[in-house]
Amino acid sequence: MVFNSYTFVAFFILILFLHNLPIPWKTKKVNLLLASYIFYAAWNPPFILLLWLSTVIDFYVGRALYTKENPHKKKLLLVVSLIGNLGMLCFFKYGTFLLENFVALSHVVGFDFNPAKPNIILPAGISFYTFTTLCYTIDMYKKESKPVKSLLDFSLFVTFFPHLVAGPIVRPPQLVPQFESPRVASRKQMMDGLLLLTLGLFMKVVLADSMLSDTADSVFDSHDKLPMLDAWIGVLAFSGQIFLDFAGYSTCAIGVALCLGFVLPQNFNYPYAAIGFTDFWRRWHITLSSWLRDYLYIPLGGSRNGKAKMYFALMMTMLLGGLWHGANWTFVAWGGLHGLYLWVEKFFKDRRGVKPESNTTANTLTNFCYAMLTFMLVNITWVFFRSETFAGSWALLQSMFGMADGKPLLTTLAILKVAIIIPFIVLFHWFLRNTKVLDVAYKLSWVWLSIAWSGMLLLLIWAQESGSSFIYFQF
């Protein structure tokens, strides 16, 4: 079930009705848990067992990790949790990828090994809920928060349907306390939630799917050489599409949760106005960035053990972050390129004695130029993210930089749409980079807000048939 479907509209209305009935809080939580399982079952019902198994094991392992004092037993329990969660993730998400690379390596060394290709189905959202449960057991091992008292509350924390499939990636302290006492949305929360849901669907259905996806697909699926203009327009179209699609989902998730009285963490903060790559990763997929920082970068040494280890930890974090996105070496290259950008940026800032966060909030001309350079370099990384092969990535990069030329592919209308939408997104990000979208809505008069909201709803109705599944569902 996806947010951009009439099925979800009916489902959500029913959930809102049940959640606002005068019934006990525990019954409401059971309703939300069952609704979350139904929401997930819409993709593939048998995988509910996988989700349930991961939830139950980590609940009891987490409790044991917190209470046990024997360090050897604690480490053993942590290893059990890591193997269980990461083993499940590796099998379903990377099983075919690992086998293909093993076969290729065996052929290189002269061993003729040709096994049957496995038919592994990737469970929706496995990367997200695996990271959600992993952070709980790691926190229990380090005693950074107290164990969840109720299996019901923990199950709801893991499977709460707004964030289940594509985030935001929540930590126990961010959500579990909200389940401990009755919650119903206030009038303001309901209106804010519905506005965010409308905005998220508008970003996804109208802009990402109707305006940009066809152009991006045409360029990235083309096997011919392209003119420089067509190549750049296709990459910029995907740049807008991936942001509008994923940020649209996160905005919908936050809005849906708010309509039920719950607050989810922010996941995007105008990333295409980032002043440098450190700033970019504070603004793009914020919950994943903070997860990788706290559970990978810092344990690898972070910035505490000298510059050499810091650079190593930074690159390993970005490489593994790239691999998290998909079972393909192009994703690793995408992460590695971001790691290289961060290396270069940190090297020059260290030489100049500039702090990483220095002057990244001022809207000056110098910062704007640096933000545009950051945006253009980020677009180069999207080539590897979207392309399925390195050959395809290289061919498109050659076209982008005038090293190849071919027949025009895109229509004038397709070029105009991208040429209007992408600069609008970038400028919108730049001028609002230090505020929040709801704050902007509060400053508008009710007349202008009503006009904007009605316009989004009308365009959603017009473009509904062009809506497709969210891109990050495959991760």
pLDDT tens per residue across span 91-108 = 888 888 777 777 778 877
- Domain's final residue, options 136, 162, 182: 182
- Domain's final residue, options 136, 155, 182: 182
Q: 264 with 163, same domain?
A: no
325 assigned to active site? yes
Q: 299 with 196, same domain?
A: yes
Q: 170 with 201, same domain?
A: no
Predicted pLDDT of residue 454: 93
Q: 55 with 137, same domain?
A: yes
Q: 95 with 232, same domain?
A: no
Predicted pLDDT of residue 404: 79
Predicted pLDDT of residue 475: 57
pLDDT tens by residue, 144-201 = 888 998 999 999 999 999 998 887 999 999 999 999 889 999 999 999 999 999 999 9
- Domain's final residue, options 134, 149, 182: 182
pLDDT tens by residue, 227-269 = 999 999 999 999 999 999 999 999 999 999 999 999 999 999 9
Predicted pLDDT of residue 465: 64
Q: 53 with 88, same domain?
A: yes
Predicted pLDDT of residue 123: 79
Catalytically annotated residue among 19, 325, 338, 429: 325
pLDDT tens by residue, 20-31 = 999 999 999 999
Predicted pLDDT of residue 100: 77
Predicted pLDDT of residue 283: 95
Predicted pLDDT of residue 440: 87
The answer to the question of residue 2 being in a domain is no
Which residues of the chain fall below pLDDT 50? none
Predicted pLDDT of residue 120: 75
Predicted pLDDT of residue 68: 83
Q: 41 with 154, same domain?
A: yes
Q: 133 with 281, same domain?
A: no
Predicted pLDDT of residue 380: 96
Structural domain including 117 reads 21-182
Q: 345 with 197, same domain?
A: yes
Q: What is the pTM of this model?
A: 0.90
Phi-psi region of 68 (alpha: psi -120 to 50; beta: other; left: phi over 0): beta
Predicted pLDDT of residue 73: 85
Predicted pLDDT of residue 225: 87
